[in-house]
Structure 1
Amino acid sequence: MVDPIRIAAEEVNCLIYAYLQDSGYTHAAFAIRMESKLDRSPLISKHIPRGELIDLLSKSLLYLEVESHWKGDALSVNCKTPFSLLEPHKCSLEHTSVSAMQPPSISIAPLPEPTPALALKTNGNVEASKRKSSPTVGSIEGPAEKRAKRDSDDMEIDSSSESSKAKPSSAEPEKPPIPVPDLSVTKKTAKPKGRIQGPGDDFTNPRVILLLPGHKSEVFVCAFNPKKHRLLATGSKDAVVNLWDLPDPPLVGFAEQPAAPKTLDYFSKDEQGDLTSLHWNSEGTLIAIGSYDSVLRICTSSGELYFQHPQHQGPIFTTRFSKSGRWLLTASLDGTSCLWDVKERRLHKQYRCHTDCCLDVVWLNETTFATCGADQLIYILRVDEDEPIKTLSGHENEINQIKCNPSGTRLASCSDDMTARVWNVDSLSKPADAIPGLVASESIVVLEGHTHSVSAIGWCPDRSLALHPLIATSSFDGTARLWNSVTGECLKVFDDHRRPVYALSFSPDGRWLSTGSGDGWLHIYNVSLQEKEWSWYAGHDRPGVFEIDWQVHQGINRIALALECQQVAVIDVSKIPALGGVAPIVPGRPRINPPR
């Protein structure tokens, strides 16, 4: 005898929770997770494919159709009444138009298009946006799908938040939400849809920004080659990596459009092919590529495939070469991190420390590295040991990103618990301290103040600040903050964005801090003055700025941006007057210098 079908309330709650996350309803998802106590349920670790609730409801309508039309008579065969989840079905030969019903065919509305991650990839930026699920090792059947980081129409900053209380000055660029065109006006009096793409001031020539239109979908990641300064790699949701040969900016005038990029198409072409990470080795000869199809790929600077391996059982969020380039680390949704021997082209070790997805990895030195995950823990490991030598605990939610200071003595982390933390890892070289499983609780600086998930974190590279190095954080609360990493003091809140801030990057000399957001704005701040100096708007149509990479090389100073509008922007900083650059003389236009 077949057991009766049983549906548990926990199963329904998990499906609704996944649907709310897919749709970008972050607060509603959090509420149902807390009120239904899903964190205590073993079902929260199950992988739920994107759109599963919609798929099940679609199948239920098909079952209702079979149940209603099984007789096969003239009425049921020729029935023109549509099926609805909210209305009882009554067969009729006349088309019924009911406002609550769907159109006369079973049509499931698509979910909002997801935005990366990475991250919370966001970063990233990954990520670019990173899926907020909790699979255990071995629980994923095939590559996992991506959760929506946010929907562009749902993530306006709450009017009660700190960032929304700031009043813009007349010198600041306008910060409109994505506008809805007024279709009721005549063509003669129709107003423009919104602010056009371009600089936020009147002093920067728009040609300072070079737009590269080589991708067919959102661009998630970008990375300049550290040695071959003309080479820029960009990765997109279209499962393509483009290698651009950028001409050097001329001393006079503006950079010319580069030739068509070299396209790397070694990737899956389905919805699992989103690219999450690009990282060059220090010699600039190899680039490691992370993807949602779970396959690690390493390519040469000329575009040939050097190595690939399907070891991971879930999306790869992060790829990181060691300084020498001998080792490569990867972090995955399957809960593991892998250490690869690059020269031997093989897996050296796979670490299964985390009980939830592994979100980021970072090198402390050539033989020691750290991993973080959704299990709220950071593990310190060595290449010659199988178990962690230290466990850092204290965060109360998923840890999105970790970064090490240049000297390898401090580790910074940021989390969905709305805090960032600075950990002392200077004592790892002491033999007495290298005890597997030791929990570190000393010398932790907690950075508190954000009112939403902290998406990205970075160390200021200015060497003059060695005694009190600065840290920057960005958040889904629409702000970025500058901190004293020793005292934990918040030095400045930058609240110019209107939507979640996905990316941040210091200039290589530490003079400038740049931030990119879902509102379409790139803002650049003077770190010492703690003031905004320049802005650029990506446009009102799919405006997100997902990743920032800053290059300085022998007089060349430029920024690459990965954009939601399917383009890559390359900004010649040396020709932006507000940032100390010299404005090119344009025929027919007098040189204008901004007020200082």
Structure 2
Amino acid sequence: MVKTYLRYEAHSTFGVIASPAGNAVFDHSGRLSITPALESVIVWDIKKGTQVARWSDRDNTAEVTCITRSPNGKDYAVGYADGSIRLFDLTNNVVNVVLNGHRGSISALQFDASGTVLASGARDTDVVLWDVVGEVGLYRLRGHKDEITGIAFLASAQSADTALNVSASGHIVTSSKDTLVKLWDLCSQHCVQTLVTHRSEVWALAVSPDGRLLVTGTSDADLHVWTIAADKLETMAADNAAEQTWDAIREYGTVRRAGSSRVVTVAFHTTGKYMVCLGADRAAEIFRVRTYGEIKKKLERRQRRNREKNKK
């Protein structure tokens, strides 16, 4: 006798606040939180604890994996597990653009200072630069051997009308699970410097608001700090930048973390005075970023105390 079995399929979900596959971001006012919710994005009013809006696309069934905010305050780029990217408008809660250029899940997104150029990284190891206004891909940067984990612009790219010929002052830094951090010249579209100091996967990076410091987080207990020579980035000639051996980024030292789990994310405060590091153990550590003058005074004070202690 043949037995008939019923076929059950998932129809919908409810009660989702945030899904763990992606990151959450705040709007410019700090009042709204934009969180991934499976294949959708939910906008929450933090003070009231209520849902303001839900962003979704009928043609999408992939899970949200990455979210970033544009400098203009209203556009948000959302990356998905199928490699697609959608741009949503916070003012009308609709999807304006759909970008397809990756073969793997989106793992990193970053706008330039003008908000007209978007850089995306994925598990396919590629970094793609997008013209947001023209809604087209500009070019692809290849060189990493594993998933891209972080992207940061060191200088703003040109506006969309000249984005195809980005100036020599345009540079980005990328990190990957291949333990490497790379500096790219956007004019030549080549890697001009590779940092090979890390001994484990690089999970996060952040650039200070003044553009002088780069911090990278790995699987170990130390944060790696680097100095960025902005003058070298501005003065190097674009036509032979890729042929030169650059040292625009130099190792400055390490900062010992209290936790021993891998780094999830690193970020600077907008003032540049504080830096926060979130670990996989769900502990957030806040560090004070001292100026060179403050460091000098603290060092002199410590040396003076040591001399007084030795005299006793």
TM normalised by structure 2 equals 0.71
Identify if the C-alpha distance between structure 1 residues 563 and 407 changes in structure 2 by more than 3 Å, giving closer, same or farther.
Answer: same
Compared CA separation, residues 379 and 2, structure 1 to 2 (3 A): same
Contact 2:146 2:178 in 1 (8 A): yes
Which of these residues, 268, 275, 283, is aligned with residue 559 of structure 1? 275
How far the C-alpha of 1:277 sits from its partner, in A, is 4.3
Unaligned runs of 5+ in 2: 159-165, 230-247
* Aligned residue in 2 for 1:458: 152
Task: Indicate yes or no: 2:141 matched with 1:395.
Answer: no
Q: 2:261 maps to which residue? A: 543
Which of 506, 509, 527 matches 2:228? 527
Deviation at 1:538, TM superposition (A): 2.5
Q: Output one character per residue of 1:466-510: Cα deviation in whole Å (capped at 9) or x when no partner.
A: 753211111111122111123221121112222221111100011
- Is the counterpart of residue 582 in structure 1 residue 296 in structure 2? yes
Match of 2:45 in 1: 298
**What residue in structure 2 maps to residue 568 of structure 1?**
284
After superposition, what is the alpha-carbon deviation per residue over 1:151-206, rounded to whole angstroms, capped at 9, x for unaligned? xxxxxxxxxxxxxxxxxxxxxxxxxxxxxxxxxxxxxxxxxxxxxxxxxxxxxxxx
1:210-240 CA-partner distances (Å, limit 9, x unpaired): xxxxxxxxxxxxxxxxxxxxxxxxxxxxxxx
Partners of 1:420 and 1:490 in 2: how far apart? 12
Distance 1:287 1:368, change over 3 A: closer
| Alignment check: 8 A CA contact 2:117 2:129 kept | yes
Shift of 1:572: 2.2
- Alpha-carbon RMSD across the aligned residues, in angstroms, is 3.9
Q: Deviations over 1:120-139 (max 9, x none)?
A: xxxxxxxxxxxxxxxxxx66
Letter in 1 for 2:49: F
SS for the counterpart of 2:296 is: coil
Cα distance in 2 for partners of 1:520, 1:410 equals: 34
The answer as to whether partners of 1:472 and 1:481 remain within 8 angstroms in 2 is: yes
Q: Distance in 1 between matches of 2:103 and 2:21?
A: 28
Partner amino acid, structure 2, of 1:419: D
Query: Deviations 1:57-92 (Å, cap 9, x if unpaired)?
Result: xxxxxxxxxxxxxxxxxxxxxxxxxxxxxxxxxxxx
Give yes or no for contact 1:143–1:292 (8 Å, CA) kept in 2.
Answer: no
Per-residue deviation, 1:291: 7.4
Q: Residues 401 and 490 of structure 1: is their aligned pair in 2 closer, same or farther, counting only changes over 3 Å?
A: same
Aligned equivalents of 1:458, 1:538: Cα separation in 2: 23
> Are 2:26 and 1:307 equivalent residues in the alignment?
no
CA pair 296-508 structure 1, distance change in 2 beyond 3 A = same
CA distance in 2, matches of 1:140, 1:354: 14
Tell me: CA distance 1:295–1:542, structure 2 relative to 1, closer, same or farther (3 Å): farther
Aligned-pair distance for 1:544?
1.6
> 1:24 is matched with which residue?
none
Q: How does 1:72-111 map to 2 (within 5 A)?
A: none
Q: Which residue of 1 aligns with 2:118?
A: 411
Q: In the alignment, does 2:65 pair up with 1:359?
A: yes
Q: Helix, strand or coil for the counterpart of 1:515?
A: strand
Taking the aligned partners of 2:34 and 2:74, their CA distance within structure 1 comes to 22
CA distance in 1, matches of 2:286, 2:173: 23
Q: Which amino acid aligns with 1:456?
A: G
Question: Using a 3 Å threshold, how does the CA distance of structure 1 residues 368 and 3 change in structure 2: closer, same or farther?
Answer: same
**What secondary structure sits across from 1:574 in the alignment?**
coil
Mark the CA change 1:414 to 1:274 in structure 2 (over 3 Å): closer, same or farther.
closer
In structure 2, C-alpha distance between the alignment counterparts of 1:279 and 1:384, rounded to whole Å: 18
Structure 1 unmatched ranges of 5 or more? 6-45, 48-137, 145-266, 301-305, 310-345, 429-439, 592-596
Cα distance, 1:347 vs structure 2: 2.4
Question: Does structure 2 conserve the Cα–Cα contact (< 8 Å) formed by 1:575 and 1:583?
Answer: no
CA distance in 2, matches of 1:548, 1:523: 11
The 5-angstrom pairing of residues 486-497 of structure 1 reads: 486-497=187-198
Deviations 1:532-571 (A, max 9, x none): 11212326x7332222121253xx7221111345543222
SS at match of 1:524: strand
Contact 1:361-1:370 within 8 A present in 2 as well: yes
Question: Where do residues 87-486 of structure 1 align in structure 2 (5 Å cutoff)?
Answer: 277-284=23-30, 286=31, 288=33, 290=35, 297-300=44-47, 306-309=48-51, 346-347=52-53, 350-364=56-70, 365=72, 368-382=75-89, 384=92, 388=96, 390-427=97-134, 440-441=136-137, 444-460=138-154, 467-486=168-187
How many residues end up aligned between the 2 structures?
A: 274
Counterparts in 2 of 1:474 and 1:532: CA distance versus 1, 3 Å: same
> Matches of 2:176 and 2:22 in 1, distance apart?
19
Deviation at 1:279, TM superposition (A): 3.6
Q: Is the 8 A contact 1:574 1:582 kept in 2?
A: no
Answer 1 or 2: which has greater strand percent: 2
Structure-2 separation of matches of 1:277 and 1:380:
16
For the residue of structure 1 that corresponds to 2:134, the secondary structure is: helix
Instruction: Kindly provide the CA deviation profile for residues 223-277 of structure 1, in whole angstroms up to 9, marking residues without a partner as x.
Output: xxxxxxxxxxxxxxxxxxxxxxxxxxxxxxxxxxxxxxxxxxxx8xxxx986964
In 2, are the aligned partners of 1:462 and 1:511 still within 8 Å (CA)? no
- Distance in 1 of aligned mates of 2:99 and 2:34: 28
Structure number with higher relative contact order (C-alpha < 8 Å, ≥ 6 residues apart): 1
Work out the percentage of aligned pairs sharing the same amino acid.
20
Q: Which has the larger radius of gyration?
A: 1
Q: d(CA) in 2 for partners of 1:366 and 1:558?
A: 23
Find the counterpart in structure 2 of residue 323 from structure 1: none
Deviations 1:6-62 (A, max 9, x none): xxxxxxxxxxxxxxxxxxxxxxxxxxxxxxxxxxxxxxxx99xxxxxxxxxxxxxxx
**Rounded Cα–Cα distance in structure 2 between residues aligned with 1:391 and 1:276:** 18
